[in-house]
Amino acid sequence: MNLKRVVRDGTVVALLCAIFYFSASAIDKIRKPEDRAYSLDRRLAEQYFASRKWAAAAVHFAKLTEEDRFNGYAWFHQAICHLSMRNEVVEDFKVLRESGAAQPELDQLILKQTEFEDQAIRCLQESSKFLRHRRRSLVNMAVVYVGREEWGNALKLLTTYIDEGNMLIRTLENIGGLGIGGRSMIGQDPEDHPDAKLHRFAEFWKLVDREDEIRGSNVESIPPPARPF
């Protein structure tokens, strides 16, 4: 056997092994050592989520739900990614509208916004099936419907949230996506106070009062909500 050929083949094998080793090591360092028990998709999803790279994070959270439809954590965080991308589109829309962009360009952003909202609702419906994520899922869905001015759907979800005895440290009154302005907005003209949203409805304030009652009678510490509110 040709000695040079043996040496060459051995060098190639060694090089390939080295490449594999260092590639595996690089992947393994994506998260802290104590987190290596999680799958690669879980680690990548959390890494992208922490970096606010919503589209990439959503892809990996989606893979987790494809592998396990009972992964409430992945359903909820995938929803938050879609809502965060939706919020970015809303900001882009404001900038373009103020710059005098043509209507077709604005319509494209409205379409993207709707698509992100639909995806978020789908994920939130799934995550609401899990007790750990239910209360935040219900409220986030209500926020989406408020953005669409579907007041009845939003109030229905918040009523369910309250009927089940839920509460968040950040109260309904202080979630900007549900409205701003306080009780003085009750019955106000929406054209004069477009940002008031649910604050214009007496029914909303009944829910706020009931949430306060729940909070007053509940001594258990409740963790703060995740983004976007």
> What would the pLDDT profile of 107-155 be if each residue is shown by its tens digit?
999 999 999 999 999 999 999 999 999 999 999 999 999 999 999 999 9
Q: Where do we find the tokens 């009750």?
A: 186
d(C-alpha 195, C-alpha 115), whole Å: 23
Compute the distance between CA of residue 229 and CA of residue 217 in angstroms, rounded to an integer. Answer: 25
Q: Does 190 sit behind a cis peptide bond, omega within 30 degrees of 0 on the bond before it? A: no
Neighbours of 162 (CB within 10 A): 21
The pLDDT, as a whole number, for residue 169 is 87
* DSSP assigned state of 30: S
How far apart (Å, rounded) are the C-alpha atoms in residues 151 and 6? 76
Structure tokens at 3: 């000695």
Q: Which pTM value belongs to this model?
A: 0.77
Kindly report the backbone phi and psi dihedral angles of residue 79, in degrees, each rounded to the nearest multiple of 5, phi listed first: -60, -45
- Residue 122: the pLDDT is 98
Distance (Å, whole) CA 168 – CA 114? 27
